Amino acid sequence: MGPLILCGTVELDALEKRIAGLRSEIRAAKAAGDHATVRSLRAELRKTERAWDDALEPEPEPAKAPLLPVREQVHQALTLLGVPTAAKMIVTVNEAFFAGHITTSQLTSLRRDEEKSFRTSPYARPYYLCAALTSELLSPARGLLAVSTWPLPSRIIGPLSPRADFLTSATRIAEHIMRLTGAGEDASPSAYRLLTRMAQNIPGAVDGFDQADPAQVIAAAGAELAVHEESDTDERGEAARRAEQQLNEVTRLFGAGLKTARTA
Amino acid sequence: MTRLDTLRGPAAPLDHNARTIAALAVNPGCDRRALLDAAGIDKQRTATHLGYPAPFGQSPFAITRAASFDALVKANGCAHLLRLLRDTLDLSISEASYSDISDVGGSDNHQVRHTRTRALLKRAASDGEGAGTLFDHPLLKLGVAGHQVYLEPAIIAFQIEGRFHVVEIKSFAVIDDQADAGQVAAAARQSAVYVYALRALFASEGLDPDRVSHDVVLVCPKDFANHPTATLLDVRQQLAALDRQLSRLTRIDRILDELPVGITFDIEAQSPDEAAKAVSTVDARFAPECLSSCEMALFCRAEARDSGSTDMLGRTARDELGGVESIPTALGLADDSRLPSPEQTEIAEQLRYVRRIYIEAVA
Ligand code: SF4
């Protein structure tokens, strides 16, 4: 056994014993149907497990690392972007701007869980992470997450919407970087990398392989957006009206169609 | 339940894809492959069940790599792809619409998706401006050996000024503007299948099939970075070859007519021996090329070996030996230990001649 582990062995042993003890207590409380105790024991267990992790590998904790639940981290990223977005982009934005650490796999069942929660007690939460709806069939658009409090047209995906939304999100990211620099902070290098990567696919948004300039990105994205905006807005508005008439409160958020769960 | 469903058993049918059709076209004389494919039978699993697992297959790494490159090209509303099409084909800024046909309202039923593919493409072709630019995962159908098959939709159909192109995303690298010739050739053969199927769809909708371009847009990673790049690939030659080969395939009905009644290739219900017997009732035409293109290759090779079939020698030798079916017969004719039948006299004479030269040469 290496010296590294030896030094904390006594502490680790104690923690492991405590963890095992807590687990069986939780099982007992659960069997007895005592939910309040289960909850408090669970919290205690999580704390102990974290202590075990720390004892194993004492880490200089960056004390301000946010411990927001996954859905709140996703909400934060979506609020920055303002448009229905795929999991991968949500993760990237969360990392670049909020030093968050979620993974795409944590998002796979999110929409389904939110739908379940909404069905059991509608509007119990201030917002739900929900689906974007395809303009023609009002079915959930594959792989996109949106926020329930957004106006319905912005949750509709017509043929031009993927492009329009990409341009909008590039703009929002550039604006956020400018907000940060304006407030005397600076955005992380990964935020600039993200903006540059997006800018490379927008005509006139960046010169060669330079780092993108937020103001230039906003101008270029705006110019292209102006080309698509009218037909995109029309299509979304028309579909949103149809959705208001045809869908109920659940399907309006999570989409119509037979297999809502499968396409989540 | 059709006769083909009975042959397959309860397993779900496999889709044809461009690779299987290109491979089928490489060996148009093989009824066995034509029938197994038409019935949507999993040849890989069948070969394994028979004790002859295929000597090839895509590695899981290659599959993951292909999928992640595909996702990259299509991410953010096809941002990369639009840039490439604007650069290489001068696509105008306003043409940016994208429709995904990988499901229709959450249903991935083939018939539904195919109907939708038809409707969207027809509308795009007849409405002119602004009626659609990118159509992802179009589900196409193709008549193969008198039987309609669905094609795995691994492409994007793309319209520019009334002309349609097939966009194929491949994960092999283009380095200094050069790509591996073998991989490009394979990509061209596969893309040709999609062009062919897209043209067939146009024709059946009363649209001019020539509006589907023979120039395919091939998207690959550039150099060693993962940055996508696009090139145009002219597949006219591959189209002509495909057309010729598809027309040479035996009709599936005829193959079915010759099968014994009640036969099935269901591997769940049969022992390896029984299944092997069933598979053997359908004529095969083994050629060394099979080893790189057909999952059944090791089984068929063993079978050809056991029967001493001249197929083992490859297509050229087999054709030269016209009328002589097995290697022992050919050897017998050559050393005079076997009497040629009237139609074999000519080939027998040639074989004896070759044998004389061979003996002189090695003596
Ligand atoms: S391996 Fe067998 S089944 Fe496949 S093409 Fe060759 S002969 Fe036909």
Q: What is the pLDDT of residues A208-229, one digit of tens each?
A: 778 999 999 999 999 999 999 9
Write down the pLDDT at residue B128. Answer: 66
For ligand 1, is residue B201 a contact (CB within 6 Å)? no
Average pLDDT over residues A20-45: 84
Q: Which of A150, A168, A165 is nearest to A252 (CA)?
A: A150
Write down the pLDDT at residue A20. Answer: 86
Distance from CA of A138 to the nearest CA of B (A): 7
Q: Tell whether the torsion through CA atoms of B161, B162, B163 and B169 is positive or negative.
A: positive
Q: Distance from the CA of B300 to the center of ligand 1, in angstroms? A: 6
- For residue B52, what are the CA distances in angstroms to B13, B43, B253, B300? 21, 11, 28, 9
Cα A193 to Cα A206: distance, rounded to the nearest angstrom: 12
Contacts of B93 in chain A (CB under 8 A): 203, 224, 227
Which residue, by CA, sits nearest to atom 7 of ligand 1?
B286
Which residue, by CA, sits nearest to atom 1 of ligand 1?
B297
Cα A242 to Cα A203: distance, rounded to the nearest angstrom: 34
ipTM above 0.85, yes or no: no
Burial label for A255, CB within 10 Å (0-12, 13-18, 19+), is buried
For ligand 1, is residue B155 a contact (CB within 6 Å)? no
A103-135 pLDDT tens trace: 888 888 898 899 999 999 888 899 999 999 999
What is the percent of chain A where pLDDT is above 70?
A: 89
According to DSSP, residue A140 is labeled B
pLDDT surpassing 80 at residue A180: yes
pLDDT surpassing 80 at residue A6: no
Say if residues A98 and A65 touch (Cβ distance below 8 Å): no
Write down the pLDDT at residue A8. Answer: 56
What is the percent of chain A where pLDDT is above 90?
A: 58
Write down the pLDDT at residue B347. Answer: 84
Low-confidence stretches of chain B (pLDDT < 50) are none
Cα A222 to Cα B243: distance, rounded to the nearest angstrom: 48
pLDDT surpassing 50 at residue A264: no
Q: Distance from the CA of B195 to the center of ligand 1, in angstroms? A: 25
For ligand 1, is residue B30 a contact (CB within 6 Å)? yes
A47-99 pLDDT tens trace: 888 888 777 765 554 445 557 889 999 999 999 999 999 999 999 999 999 98
Which of A:125-184 have CB within 8 Å of B?
Answer: 134, 137, 139-140, 142, 159-166, 169
Write down the pLDDT at residue B361. Answer: 85
Write down the pLDDT at residue A100. Answer: 85
Domain-wise residue ranges, chain A: 2-56, 70-263
Cα B285 to Cα B305: distance, rounded to the nearest angstrom: 12
Write down the pLDDT at residue A64. Answer: 52
Q: Distance from the CA of B241 to the center of ligand 1, in angstroms? A: 20
Amino acid at position A201, single letter:
N
For ligand 1, is residue B197 a contact (CB within 6 Å)? no
Contacts of A227 in chain B (CB under 8 A): 93-94
Tokens matching residue A85: 């977005």
pLDDT surpassing 80 at residue A263: no
User: B254-292 burial by CB neighbour count: b if 16+ within 10 A, else e?
Assistant: ebbeeeeeebbbbbeebeeeebbebbeebebbbbeebee
- A86 in contact with B, Cβ within 8 Å: yes
Which domains does chain B possess?
Answer: 3-57+252-320 (no CATH), 60-247 (3.90.320)
According to DSSP, residue B222 is labeled B
For ligand 1, is residue B286 a contact (CB within 6 Å)? yes
HSE-CB of B105 using CA atoms within 13 angstroms: 9
Cα B148 to Cα B155: distance, rounded to the nearest angstrom: 19
Give first-to-last CA distance, chain B, whole Å.
64
Say if residues B76 and A201 touch (Cβ distance below 8 Å): yes
pLDDT surpassing 50 at residue A18: yes
Which of B:42-71 have CB within 8 Å of A?
Answer: 71
pLDDT surpassing 50 at residue A206: yes
Query: Is A140 in contact with B106 (Cβ distance < 8 A)?
Result: yes
Cα B72 to Cα B170: distance, rounded to the nearest angstrom: 12
